[in-house]
Structure 1
Amino acid sequence: MSSSPSLIFALLVLISAVATVSPVAATDHIVGANRGWNPGINYTLWANNHTFYVGDLISFRYQKTQYNVFEVNQTGYDNCTTEGAVGNWSSGKDFVPLNKAKRYYFICGNGQCFNGMKVSVLVHPLPPPPTAAKHSKLDSAAHIVSHWGLWSLMVSYALIWFGFGSF
């Protein structure tokens, strides 16, 4: 092969960087799942089966000519009123970002709140990434040896494959 060692090294560094990055993706929580945002559904039960984190989305799917969504405070939620609402949506396919760790309250503002069209979700802060301090020394050492052993094996294989003994 006529590739330069620096090009191979750069390629290996890029591959290792991509391989070690763990993507953090937001979850889109679709209210009511396949039943959507409609009267007569127990949204408290639905919400209790989900864990919400900062950065997630909550989505409402409904007939836009029949329903809507308002973000309200606890009083508005408890009394089914939109007075003092902090947000409202009416597209029928609404995506609401959950940007703060707090309790959010959503209701349908056309009277259907009294028929159960309201949901409250507690949004948690993102959990901290795992640290070596949370693992035993043996687990941490095994992880490091495993990680670097795999990395060394990949580099050695690449060097042999491309015919380079050293840089």
Structure 2
Amino acid sequence: MAEKMHLSFFIFAMIGFITLVPVSSKIHIIGDQTGWSLPNYSTFYGTWAKKQNFAVGDELRFKYRPGLNTVLQVNKDDYDHCTTRKTISTFFRGDTIISLDKPGDYFFINSVGKHCEGGQKIAITVPQGKPSSH
């Protein structure tokens, strides 16, 4: 009887654990076919981001050529002013994948020339709630 009780508890615990773990995540290719490059208009990436549903566990894929572009994760002030005073992370070797591991706001810019001022920057908001199940 005790063995059946332990087995039942184990099965119940495993079912509970499985429902808490995301089944899969979604990979968002920043800018879709455009990739991560100087856009034709300054609101391109903001418009693109508004059409996405981001969740904890998803990944961002920045597709770009090294030497022509960079990906810097920055704070909101640096994002707003296209500065790099408080850079969080820097990527410059080409295609970059960044995991959205917690809810909150993420800010990314390109530090090459005046690309950021030209609109090559993106703000991502990951809402509180359950992980991605795409």
Higher relative contact order (CA 8 A, sep 6+): 2
Distance 1:83 1:93 in 2: 24
Q: Match of 2:67?
A: 65
Equivalent position amino acid for 1:64 in 2: P
- Write out aligned runs for 1:1-80 (5 A): 24-41=23-40, 42-80=44-82
Distance 1:87 1:34 in 2: 24
- Any unmatched runs of 5+ in structure 1? 1-20, 129-167
* Match of residue 84, structure 1, among 83, 86, 104: 86
Distance 1:126 1:31 in 2: 23
Equivalent position amino acid for 2:130 in 1: P
Q: Give 3-state SS (helix, strand or coil) of 1:43's partner.
A: helix
Distance 1:25 1:120 in 2: 23
Asked if 1:118 is matched to 2:103, the reply is no
Task: Answer 1 or 2: which has greater helix percent.
Answer: 1
Distance 1:98 1:127 in 2: 13
Q: Give 3-state SS (helix, strand or coil) of 1:105's partner.
A: strand
The size of the alignment, in residue pairs, is 109
Q: Give 3-state SS (helix, strand or coil) of 2:116's partner.
A: helix
CA positional deviation for 1:73: 0.5
- Structure 1 length as normaliser, TM-score? 0.61
Distance 1:108 1:122 in 2: 18
Q: Deviations over 1:128-150 (max 9, x none)?
A: 8xxxxxxxxxxxxxxxxxxxxxx
Q: CA RMSD in A?
A: 1.9
Distance 2:93 2:51 in 1: 26
Q: Tell which structure's C-alpha radius of gyration is larger.
A: 1
Distance 1:91 1:29 in 2: 19
Distance 1:115 1:64 in 2: 19
- Any unmatched runs of 5+ in structure 2? 1-17
CA positional deviation for 1:69: 0.3
